[in-house]
Amino acid sequence: MKTDFYFSTESLAVGYNGKALISDISLGLKKGEILTLIGPNGSGKSTILKSITRHLATISGVVYIDEKNMRTMNGRDIATRMAVVLTDRVRPELMTCGELVASGRYPYTNSFGKLTARDHEIVMESLRRVHAEDLYDRDFAAISDGQRQRIMLARAIAQEPEIIVLDEPTSFLDIKHKIELLEILNDMAKNQNITVVMSLHEIDLACKVSDKIVCVKGDHIAAYGKPDEIFSDERINQLYEIERGSYNALLGSVELSRPSGAPRYFLIGGGGHGIPYYRALQKANIPFAAGILFENDVDFAVASVLASEVVAAKAFEAISDAAIAQAKQIIDRVEAVIDCGCPIGEFNRASGVLMEYARGKIITEVPV
């Protein structure tokens, strides 16, 4: 196969005990590109990764590294090209972080595993790359989850691979460490030209760090492409079968399910002022309506998935009389109007008009 891809799969089928779970996986990655597998729990992300790393026998199809069929390569050939970070929780006894990172030198050391001065240099360099030089002497069992994951990554780096495969590297990490880890991967990919294949649960992060995205869904690849081609609200909500609540692909934000029923309050918001009120009402499970919001307003993005009714106005256009009339109609039906505290200026004069109309019915706190 002649391609300019460094890593590729050709109609790969993966599964257990000779039975294919997911077939026809054809992916291609150039050097230094990051590919992320996303998909619901149990969709087969790990199965695909394990088949790539040869922890699972492939059912059919071929995996190529550097245009070589992986099946024809021996263990050492692969080990000098591909490093892995698995989900296995390792708990080695009496092992310092330095020793653990040094275990990545395995394919390069002599038959007794003696580390040379160069090996030590590479170990230190790998630790530096993940900002963990100070952990060198520490017992691996005594450090935090975030540090542990960085050490596991340093171990993979010390293997001097051309491709790193990571299975959910950000699980168990808090948001700071998630960002840090992905920054390190991104740096490796772009500056060292290392190809990265991984699975992530955090779709908001996946779209920011990846060059290519694979949506894995149970028995097939639901979508494969660049993040901006993949990340639409609809596709994500479908991929994960989100029935209650929603995911906003543009903002990367998650909202819980919309309170059902006729709106009891009308919220006058805008410019992000409405969002805390919308969420408070959602928590109390009180249906509400919101308006009048420009379609490019961040309040609109949230209101459209939480409010029973939204009175919207086209972005960059004056608010129409029809919208004002519609809002007034809702105000007539609700118990009260909540002023979310959005300042009123030249372009949202309509909000002022509505406040005037609802006078006597206005409150400023969520009545819970």
Partner 1 sequence: MKKTYTDTMRYCMVFLSLAILFCAAVVWNINTGSVDISLKDIANIIFTKDATDQASYNIIWKIRLPRLLTAAVLGGALSLSGFLLQTFFRNPIAGPFVLGISSGAKMFLAVVTIALSKYITTVPVSLTVISAFIGSMLSMMFVLAFSGKIKNMSMLLVIGIMISYICSAVTDFLINFAKESDIVNLTHWSLGSFSGAGWDNLKIATVIVLPTLAAVFFLSKPISAYALGEGYAQSLGVNIKLFRVLLIIFSSILSACVTAFAGPISFIGIAVPHISRIMLKTQKPQVMIPATFLCGAVFCMICDLIARTMFAPTELSVGTVTSAIGAPIVIWLMISRQRKDAQA
Q: Which spans of this chain sit near partner 1 (rule: CB under 8 A)?
A: 53-55, 74-76, 78-80, 82-84, 86, 88, 90, 92-96, 98-100, 103-104, 106-107, 109, 111-113, 120, 136-137, 139, 141-142, 159
d(CA 19, CA 51): 13
Closer to partner 1 by CB, 161 or 274: give it: 161
Query: Cβ 123 to partner 1, closest distance in Å?
Result: 11
* For the chain, counts of helices (H) and of strands (E): 13, 17
Query: Cβ 35 to partner 1, closest distance in Å?
Result: 18
DSSP symbol at 130: T
Residue 32 tokens, joined: 């230094």
Query: Cβ 45 to partner 1, closest distance in Å?
Result: 16
Query: Cβ 7 to partner 1, closest distance in Å?
Result: 15
Closer to partner 1 by CB, 141 or 318: give it: 141
Q: How far is CA 189 from the centre of its chain?
A: 17
Closer to partner 1 by CB, 81 or 217: give it: 81
d(CA 231, CA 250): 8
Q: How far is CA 110 from CA 99, 118, 121, 170, in A?
A: 16, 13, 17, 34
Closer to partner 1 by CB, 93 or 321: give it: 93
d(CA 198, CA 200): 7
Q: How far is CA 360 from CA 287, 313, 357, in A?
A: 21, 26, 9
Closer to partner 1 by CB, 136 or 240: give it: 136
Query: Cβ 70 to partner 1, closest distance in Å?
Result: 13
Query: Cβ 218 to partner 1, closest distance in Å?
Result: 22
Closer to partner 1 by CB, 142 or 284: give it: 142
Residue 128 tokens, joined: 């530096």
Closer to partner 1 by CB, 79 or 286: give it: 79
Query: Cβ 227 to partner 1, closest distance in Å?
Result: 28
CA-CA-CA-CA torsion for 37, 39, 43, 49, nearest 10 degrees?
10
Helix residue ranges, H only, the chain: 45-52, 75-79, 97-102, 117-129, 145-158, 175-192, 203-209, 227-230, 233-239, 275-283, 298-306, 321-333, 349-357
Query: Cβ 94 to partner 1, closest distance in Å?
Result: 5
Q: How far is CA 282 from CA 35, 108, 270, 274, 362, in A?
A: 36, 58, 18, 12, 20
Query: Cβ 97 to partner 1, closest distance in Å?
Result: 11
Which is it for strands 7-16 and 60-65: parallel, antiparallel or unpaired?
A: antiparallel
d(CA 87, CA 1): 32
Closer to partner 1 by CB, 95 or 179: give it: 95
Q: Is the Cβ–Cβ distance between 310 and 304 less than 8 Å?
A: yes
Closer to partner 1 by CB, 81 or 258: give it: 81
Query: Cβ 113 to partner 1, closest distance in Å?
Result: 4
Closer to partner 1 by CB, 92 or 367: give it: 92
Which residues neighbour 6 within 8 Å (Cβ) at sequence distance 6 or greater? 29, 30, 31, 65, 66, 162, 163, 195
